Amino acid sequence: EAGVTQFPSHSVIEKGQTVTLRCDPISGHDNLYWYRRVMGKEIKFLLHFVKESKQDESGMPNNRFLAERTGGTYSTLKVQPAELEDSGVYFCASSLRLAGSYNEQFFGPGTRLTVL
Amino acid sequence: AQSVSQHNHHVILSEAASLELGCNYSYGGTVNLFWYVQYPGQHLQLLLKYFSGDPLVKGIKGFEAEFIKSKFSFNLRKPSVQWSDTAEYFCAVNAPQAGTALIFGKGTTLSVSS
């Protein structure tokens, strides 16, 4: 079974440009999460989708970040315009959605974003 | 706000040495606790988890962790490390009342020399 995949693995852009990151969750996983790790800091939660709906977007840093999950399958995270402080590794995770239990989150390899 | 503290940024050990990585969290309610590991060039993967019951939990590859509620701690241990344990280790907490997101510590890099 394929795991969580993310594209691209690396992206280098200039300040002010736009970048779109993609995450393909494990098939059948309704929950999809985005996290970010800025260098030297902890991995921080950005947002959580249940199918195509945003369940929790309390971690989104500002309105330059837009996440979508049309059709409840893959998700994209767009940063527009990118700033220097957006550099970091963006992780995606997915999990099943079984009532009454906490379901393990499976992580993708991450996208390393560098904003120059 | 909830937070997770990992005491050591970088730990260096020789093979066969014992390992203990500290983790403390700040949250007064019910929590689910996790240790994740990221081997060089690989994905984050779950090492072990605690939801309830026996506070001593065993995970993969000989790792175990002990939940001490009174100390808000969830330390990771392994009696004898191997070179292949070289990786970055992350403690994470979930507070069910606040949703399913994970709150991570800053991570501890473990380097094991053979």
Percent of chain B with pLDDT over 90: 84
What pLDDT band is residue A72 in, cutting at 50, 70 and 90?
A: confident
pLDDT at residue A1 in the model: 65
pLDDT tens string B56-88: 999 999 999 999 999 999 999 999 999 999 999
pLDDT tens string A73-84: 999 999 999 999
- Arithmetic mean of pLDDT, A17-32: 96
What pLDDT band is residue A2 in, cutting at 50, 70 and 90?
A: confident
Percent of chain A with pLDDT over 90: 86
Domain ranges of chain A: 5-98
Assigned architecture for domain A5-98: Sandwich (2.60)
Minimum mean pLDDT among A9-23, A59-73, A88-102, B78-92: which range? A88-102
Q: Which of B4, B100, B103, B106 to mutate to test the interface with A (most CBs of A within 10 A)?
A: B100
What pLDDT band is residue A70 in, cutting at 50, 70 and 90?
A: confident
CB A66 within 8 A of CB A82: no
Closest CA of chain B from A63, distance in Å: 20
For residue A38, give both structure tokens. Answer: 């800025």
- Asked if A55's CB is within 8 angstroms of B43's CB, the reply is no
DSSP string, chain B: --EEEES-SEEEEETT--EEE-EEEE-SS--EEEEEEE-TTS-EEEEEEE-SS-SEEE-GGG-EEEEEGGGTEEEEEESS--GGG-EEEEEEEE-GGG-S--EE---EEEEEE-
Q: Between β-strands A53-56 and A43-50, what pairing exists: parallel, antiparallel or unpaired?
A: antiparallel
Residue bearing the bigger pLDDT, A99 or A63: A63
pLDDT tens string B5-22: 998 999 999 999 999 999
Taking domain B3-113, whether its CATH number is 1.10.390.10 is answered by: no
Peptide bond into A8 cis (omega under 30): yes
What is the distance between the alpha carbons of residues A77 and A48, in angstroms, rounded to a whole number? 12
- Asked if A45's CB is within 8 angstroms of B100's CB, the reply is no
pLDDT tens string B83-110: 999 999 999 999 887 788 999 999 999 9
Domain ranges of chain B: 3-113
Query: B7: which strand partners?
Result: none
- Asked if B4's CB is within 8 angstroms of A42's CB, the reply is yes
> Does A90 contact B at CB distance below 8 Å?
no
What is the distance between the alpha carbons of residues A1 and B111, in angstroms, rounded to a whole number? 31
> Does A35 contact B at CB distance below 8 Å?
yes
